Chain A
Amino acid sequence: MLAQMRKGTLQYCVLALLADKERYGFDLVRSLAETDGMVTSEGTIYPLLSRLRRDGLVETTWRESTSGPPRRYYRLTKAGAAALAAFKGEWGPFRDAVDHFVERKS
Chain B
Amino acid sequence: MDAALVLEDGTAYFGDACGAPGERGGELVFNTAMTGYQEILTDPSYCGQGVVMTYPQIGNYGVNPEDDESGRCWAEMFIVRQLAARPSNYRARTSLREYLEQRGVPAIQGIDTRDLTLKLREQGALRAILSTECLDAAELAARARRHPPLEGRDLVAEVSCQEPYRWSEGLPCAFPSPELGCAAASGALPLVCYDFGIKRNILRCLVTSGFAPVVVPARFPAREALALRPAGVFLSNGPGDPAALSYAHAAVAEIAAAEVPILGICLGHQIIGHAFGGRTVKMKFGHHGANHPVIERRSGRIDITAQNHSFMVDPDSLEGTGLVVTHWNCNDGAVEGLEHVRLPVFSVQYHPEAAPGPHDSNHLFRRFRRRIEERCGAPAR
A binds B: no
A contact residues vs B (CB 8 Å cutoff): none
